[in-house]
Amino acid sequence: MTPSGGHADASRHPPEFEGFPFLVTRVGHTPLRHIALLPADWSFDRLAEAVRRQARANRLDTCLCLGPTDALFVEADGTEFAGSPLCWGIPVIGAIALPEPLDSTPELLARQAALEAFARRNPASGYLVGDGLEGGWRATPEEVKRLSGRDEEGIPRGLRRCARCGAFRGDYLAVRGEGNGDRTPRVVPVHCRCENHNRCARCGEPLAEWRLSSYFFAEADRAVRYLAAYAGLGHRCVP
């Protein structure tokens, strides 16, 4: 998540919602921005701890917006830096739980109503087919040779069953444009369930069945598939 001073499009998409303080979670590299309000009477230390807990659990880039020019960014890997808020995009609300429920004070309820109105004024249009993190790396001739083909059970070479969770993991040679449409042979890491580190900050359960913004092996149809970050927006805590 880049501060506004370092993003080429920031000047054309200034932040519009000003109900500070709040968290903005970047959903992959899509225009989706999940906004969650925080109490205005919390100290800076408590607000900073909230954004750290959120990013640590979700493993998604998260920004604590404190004012028009004051924000604390915490990236998925834990890197922190200060900057100006960058919350423009398509607002999403109520889909990513905070670590703890908040008291419904009059002040918070008023800002929540303003946030809901803001979301209604800026609805999404069209549809998403990925999240901009499909990547991988260009395969070397040695990797093409080593990873080409499948074994007698139809498992791509380079994948091995995890002894702990039973799902497959390893390196996969993508040659059909898997994920991003690029048919240049490239290697993509495939993650098993053990490597699903995207957790709900409230209940601690995975945000989705597989790791977000990553590839997994669908054993039933012997296919490697990509799970975009917005799949995590469907998580709901079970009481």
Question: Two tokens at 133?
Answer: 């993190």
pLDDT digits (tens, 9 = 90+) for 81-119: 998 876 578 999 999 999 999 999 999 999 999 999 999
Q: Give yes or no for residue 13 having a pLDDT over 60.
A: no
198, 232 in Cβ contact below 8 A? Answer: yes
- C-alpha 13 chain-centroid distance: 21
Structural tokens at position 173: 């040679």
Under 8 Å between Cβ of 19 and 93:
no
Q: Is the pTM of this model over 0.85?
A: yes
Residue 82, SS3 per DSSP: strand
Burial label for 75, CB within 10 Å (0-12, 13-18, 19+), is middle
Q: What pLDDT is attached to residue 206?
A: 98
- pLDDT digit string (tens) for 131-172? 999 999 999 999 999 999 999 999 999 999 999 999 999 999
Q: What is the pLDDT of residues 187-204, one digit of tens each?
A: 999 999 999 999 999 999
